[in-house]
Amino acid sequence: MEIKGTSAIVTGGASGLGEATARMLAERGARVVVADLQDDKGEQVASEIGGIFAHVDVTRTDEIIAAVEAAREMGPISSLVNCAGIGWAQRTVGRDGTYESAANLEAFVRVININLIGTFDCIRLAATAMSTNEPDADGCRGAIVNTASVAAFDGQIGQASYSASKGGIVGMTLPVARDLAAIGVRVNTIAPGLIDTPIYGEGEASEAFKAKLGASVLFPHRLGHPEEFASMALELLTNSYMNAETIRVDGGIRMPPK
């Protein structure tokens, strides 16, 4: 699928995996909507890549629609990459035997709302816009890449909500791809492992922590680079025979219980 001259939306595009993906899409000739909650960072990234910024909370349908419409104004929207998401860790049951110490149910629901339901809302709305595109020689009108996590398969202690949200993304990849085949839109998912993003902080202590984490990766013994995620996202968007697949980009790591 050709992306040059088309528009794309990257949720969570102001930093980390989303920023790297937005930059790579722009380098390939796409006009990118950087959709994020971080206004300052999002505006800066959008300015640097010749795209536009859209303030988007993926739990707000109206804000997603506004981003989709902004993309359509720049050209036919052919790409959506869902990178927006949050993490959360808490054991299911507390140590004192009280109901109050059990896992925070509101936090569980919030993670599901952002990571899973937010992803689906972006898919259904962007795909609706894609359905109006002229198809290419393969009949393709667009492509979507979602972000899961190795936690979907190797969830660690305390990751029930996060793993459930990412497992849901993996689980819906095939049925959504089957749904969207009718309009010529492909759907794939990336399950990244330990990627070096701002979540790990900066400084000597941070570098030492990242080095320790990297040593547990099968090979190479380091954290992944955001550009390695972005490269896979770009391949899934442009390779017209990639569909309904979940691919781990993780250096071969298999996460231990904790």
What is the set of active-site residues? 162
> What is the rounded CA–CA span in Å between residue 53 and residue 63?
12
Q: Pairing between strand 77-82 and 246-249? A: unpaired
Sign of CA dihedral 176, 177, 180, 181: negative
Q: Name, in order, each residue with C-beta under 8 angstroms of 203's C-beta and a sequence gap of 6 or more.
A: none
Q: Identify which of 54, 62, 109, 53 has the alpha carbon closest to the alpha carbon of residue 86.
A: 109
E-state strands within 3-102: 7-11, 31-36, 52-55, 77-82
Estimate the crossing angle of helix 61-74 against helix 118-130, to 10 degrees.
Answer: 30
Contact 160, 103 (CB under 8 A): yes
Give, rounded to a whole angstrom, the gap between the first and last alpha carbons of the chain.
41
Q: Identify which of 52, 92, 88 has the alpha carbon closest to the alpha carbon of residue 71.
A: 52
Q: Pairing between strand 77-82 and 52-55? A: unpaired
Contact 146, 188 (CB under 8 A): yes
